[in-house]
Chain A
Amino acid sequence: MTLFGYRVPMMASLLVWCVIWELVGQSGAMFLIPPLSDVLVAAVALVQTGTWQAAAVTTLNSFLIGMFFAILVGIILGVLMGRFQAVDNLLGIWVNIFVSAPLSALVPVLMILFGMGETTVVVTVFLFAVWIIVLDTRAGIQGVPNSLIEMGRSYGASPLALYGKIILLAALPEILAGIRLGVVRGVKGVVIGQLLVSILGYGELFELYSRNFDMENFWALTIILFAAAMGLSALIENIEKRVDYYAGVR
């Protein structure tokens, strides 16, 4: 973007909003919004506390386990749906319902099924993330050129080699896009899960700070979470760019 002939750096818009936040905070108009500088000071102090570190470890743990199963199941289901019409007919409607359904509403039911512990959070992460991975993998598999599959068959590829050396690699750009979107949804899932269970990790801290109107720490927690989610997404986007060179060829 250029403004008055000058090239504006990419993060400049963020700076504008930071300044506005600081000004609103300093004016003291809303007690819900403390000055950004206070929030940042709180963030630095927060990450050094044992409470935050324990919460972060719990949260990360639930998130990673949930994402692991979401990616595994998502890719397997996506491949099956992309390759076999019968599976696609059988599961397609459910995947499409769940990908757009307000899954937060299901969390209380999950609590009945899986208890008030980490398992519920893991299942929430899984349910938030898995459907978009299924859909993107399916799209990727369906986009694999038929001639590549025929090539594998005519040169004697075993079914395992056909999938491992050709089909999955050819669908990799879409699979990665699905995982990136799944990660973003998984972060939502972990926070919503923990908030509703409300005695675990980040959710517990959110509850604690918002109930006590400890807005500096509340916002510090939020900023750290947003930064982590954006960082993860950017990391996968970076991997996506590396495989982009062959997506363009198809």
Chain B
Amino acid sequence: MRNITAHAASAAAHPAGADVAVEVRGVCKMYSEVEALRSIDLDFPAGKLTTLLGPSGCGKTTLLKIIAGLIPATSGEIRVNGKTVTGPGPERAFVFQDFALMPWATVMRNVAFGLELKGMGKDERQSIAARYINEVGLAGFENKYPHELSGGMRQRVGLARAFAVNADVLLLDEPFSAVDEQNRRKFQEDLLRLVALEKKTFIFVTHSIEEAVYCSDRIVILSRRPGRIAQIIEPEIDRSASPDAIRRDQGYLDTVEEIWQGLKRYVD
């Protein structure tokens, strides 16, 4: 575990040498009178999974949606692959907390929907969608409707839809919070496999400390409102070990404990 304290945050927020996929520069967000985010400066290294972690109401989902271009920042800017962005773009794909699947469309059409919106032909987009349906482990469910699937399976559809558009950056907004505990564990393991396979940049929002430590290359802890960067931690856990071994690893447990000690003061 590498713990980069708040004093050294500015150095850590801009990792030298590594490729940077997403840069957040001086982002502030005001909701009328309420200050949700205060001058956030953050770099997200390419090909890594970075987690935004913090107490509820710290603005982590707001920050993710600003990066997605779904809500505008009050000030500051977002650069993706060096280019400033002001709205949603094809280089970013979003995975929603409540899945955001179209209930009237089959798994196949939902997964291919991003490609459909791009105007890709039916055969082409379906063959791409079929590949990702297979990759997230939903082969055989192509013609099912969302209400016929469990919560975990629905979020797999959401994930496949994000993969199918071949974006460089995947933004995941508490993707497992509406999934039951056992499915969540399995899903986290699958996600790690997909992160290694797809070589994309993942930005992940969660309020689960265990989930953050288990999945992330880098954890950004935000303080309570107004959201500021409180701490950046790199768990440095050997992911070649089996999932069960990781969950019993001393480094993993220590990191979870350390984050909890840091966050405890924010809990009512």
Q: Which residues of B contact A172 (CB under 8 A)?
A: 104
Binds B, one of A62-70, A82-90, A152-160: A152-160
Contact yes or no, B118 A145, CB < 8 A: no
CB distance from A146 to the nearest CB of B (A): 9
Contact yes or no, A154 B88, CB < 8 A: yes
Contact yes or no, B114 A155, CB < 8 A: yes
Interface string of A166-195 (1 = CB under 8 A from B): 100110100000000000000000000000
Q: Does B97 contact A (CB under 8 A)?
A: yes
CB distance from A249 to the nearest CB of B (A): 4
Q: Does A150 contact B (CB under 8 A)?
A: yes
Contact yes or no, A246 B145, CB < 8 A: yes
CB distance from A78 to the nearest CB of B (A): 19
Contact yes or no, B88 A156, CB < 8 A: yes
Question: Which residue in chain A gives the minimum CB-CB distance to B71?
Answer: A150
CB distance from B2 to the nearest CB of A (A): 33
Contact yes or no, A148 B100, CB < 8 A: yes
Contact yes or no, A150 B94, CB < 8 A: yes
Q: How many residues of B contact A (CB 8 A)?
A: 28
Contact yes or no, A245 B103, CB < 8 A: yes
Q: How many residues of A contact B (CB 8 A)?
A: 24
Residues B140-189 near A (CB distance < 8 A): 145-147, 161, 165
Q: Which residues of B contact A169 (CB under 8 A)?
A: 102, 104
CB distance from B246 to the nearest CB of A (A): 31
The CA-CA distance from A208 to B104 in the complex, in Å, is 50
Contact yes or no, B104 A154, CB < 8 A: no
Contact yes or no, A246 B94, CB < 8 A: no
Contact yes or no, B70 A150, CB < 8 A: yes
Contact yes or no, A148 B117, CB < 8 A: no
Contact yes or no, B118 A156, CB < 8 A: yes
Contact yes or no, B97 A245, CB < 8 A: no
Question: Which residue in chain A gives the minimum CB-CB distance to B65?
Answer: A150
A interface majority secondary structure: helix
The CA-CA distance from A161 to B118 in the complex, in Å, is 11
Interface string of A213-250 (1 = CB under 8 A from B): 00000000000000000000000000000010110111
CB distance from A67 to the nearest CB of B (A): 25
Interface string of B84-118 (1 = CB under 8 A from A): 00001110111011111011100000000110111
Q: Which residues of B contact A154 (CB under 8 A)?
A: 68-70, 88, 92-94
For this complex, 24 residue pairs linking A to B, each with C-beta atoms less than 8 Å apart, are: A145-B98, A145-B100, A147-B97, A147-B99, A148-B100, A148-B102, A150-B70, A150-B100, A154-B68, A155-B88, A155-B94, A155-B114, A156-B88, A156-B89, A156-B90, A170-B102, A172-B104, A245-B103, A245-B145, A246-B103, A246-B104, A248-B147, A249-B103, A249-B146
The 5 A-B residue pairs whose C-beta atoms are closest, nearest first, are A246-B103, A151-B100, A147-B100, A155-B114, A249-B103
Q: Residues of B with Cβ closer than 8 Å to A?
A: 65, 68-70, 88-90, 92-94, 96-100, 102-104, 113-114, 116-118, 145-147, 161, 165
For the A-B complex with A151-B96, A154-B92, A156-B88 known, give 10 more contacts whose Cβ atoms are closer than 8 Å: A147-B100, A151-B94, A154-B93, A156-B117, A158-B117, A170-B102, A170-B103, A245-B103, A245-B147, A249-B146
